[in-house]
Structure 1
């Protein structure tokens, strides 16, 4: 679908396997390595998953993370629509975006008398409890600090993503060919950048 919208000169010709212009020749590794790095960086930045149920076994959490990673890798547009829908839902509330995202992603749970979590609260019930003085949410700084991802990790992933996008844009400007795999990685990276904005205020890796 995306490939059909790209000008023909962008694709790497498969007619000849020989390099006829030494200034434009690249090795297989020079093509694949930046593309794979960009794909992983795109997935890392675009996926802001919900909070796992407390006391969930580690292997269940790992399974959920792997499934989300695969969905983001195969259907990045689905992740983008998920982000847009989450932002619209959060923006419609009268509370701050960080607190709203925190509740929507399952940050507030009801516990029984033994302290065992039963189910997450929805945004409406949470609002009632806050107004009645029965619930006090963490501050925005505390919520954002719950994330396991570091600012350095996000900055490094963003740098890898922007570097790849810039390299592809420069080759496009010079009318140099791109391999089909690079076009696919470029599409994923572009969607990841768009996805990151709706989830700007959503805690990451909580």
Structure 2
């Protein structure tokens, strides 16, 4: 009897040992990835650094007026950064418009330089007017000014950016996207802050590609002196006053609609001593304008769609989840609604005055909806960090050895 009981226990032990042997064999053939932990500070610092690269370092502003104070230059730069936070697709469209408006009689570096206000006409030793590419060429042919001898290398020397500095920014953005891909592959939780930053990073690559040859943070234009004694500069250039202070309502209007209208050449602002930020003075072919509009809406859809990927993420509360979903859908669909309204107006579908006023009101409502939704997403990106899943603090070990800032 004792012998029978011993045999039963022995056989049971053999049966239980078999899966352990197989599991060991499998683990030797398929080695599990190595994971490590990250802190909340790691999540915030990498995301904020990438965001800063997207809304500050990637923007190539136009050359300021010689009369602009340092405060005004910084204030204008702050406004551009806020615009990049609220509507980053406008920055991409701005870069695309300048890329499409490049004058092929110049090198691309020269084209960007003159489009950003790089050539300033001087009369009697004082700055008189910034010159468009066709104006520069026309005045040279008429003998009013000497042909500029500025080379592309000299223009790049004025720039605050080079291949190394731009490469470092791209390296950081690429690393950020890579580490998010690794989290998706190994099914690790991603935060809403990282998802929102990813949307900026994707648009950042498009901006950098379009502005790769555009000088960065040039502060002083190249001087071209008026030489003709036959006529005055006013005979060739429409002289207008520089920026003036506007009424509060006009300022609000400019902040909401003016950037889009300028890019579409619907409202070309004055450019005496500096080029406006969203300059639309270079006329594009109708087909190019259509491409620009479609590209802008498509980019806005991509940007909003990336936010929609966080649809089923873990949120601290159900209310925050609903707010994120509604806001993500709003910024994805609102540009399409605005374009449809714009097409209806351009095709004279709405002819009576009341219908026109109602259309303007509806457009304002959707613009405000977009701005509020973008602001809500920016707030939720940070408030949802207060309660993260445990999995969100786990990261793949090899991502830390990839070079990044």
How would you bin the TM-score normalised by the shorter chain? 0.7 to 0.9
More helix by percentage: 2
TM-score by length of 1: 0.80
- Residue 156 of structure 1 and its aligned partner are, at CA, apart by 2.7
Displacement after TM superposition at 1:158 (Å): 2.3
Q: Distance in 1 between matches of 2:46 and 2:59?
A: 20
When Rg is computed on C-alpha atoms for both structures, the one with the higher figure is: 2
Contact 1:76 1:191 in 2 (8 A): yes
Does residue 1:169 correspond to 2:167, yes or no? no
Aligned match of 2:138: 128
1:116 corresponds, among 118, 126, 133, to: 126
Pair 44,158 (structure 1): closer, same or farther in 2 beyond 3 Å: farther
Q: CA deviation at 1:151?
A: 4.7
CA 1:175/1:130 → structure 2, altered by over 3 Å: closer, same or farther? farther
| Aligned partner of 2:112 among 87, 96, 101 | 101
CA–CA separation in structure 2 for the residues paired with 1:202 and 1:71: 20
Match of 2:97 among 85, 97, 100: 85
For structure 1, the 5+ residue unaligned runs are: 1-22
Shift in Å, 1:71? 1.3
Q: TM-score of the superposition, structure 2-length normalised?
A: 0.42
Residue 46 of structure 1 and its aligned partner are, at CA, apart by: 2.4
User: Relative to structure 1, is the Cα distance of residues 93 and 151 closer, same or farther in structure 2, using a 3 angstrom cutoff?
Assistant: closer
1:47 to 49, 59, 84: 59
Distance 2:99 2:166 in 1: 20
Structure 2 Cα separation of the partners of residues 129 and 77 of structure 1 = 36
Figure out how many residues of one structure are paired with residues of the other and give that number.
182
Distance in 1 (CA, whole Å) between partners of 2:152 and 2:104 is 16
- Partner SS state of residue 177, structure 1: coil
Supply the distance in 2 between the matched residues of 1:173 and 1:44 (Cα, whole angstroms): 30
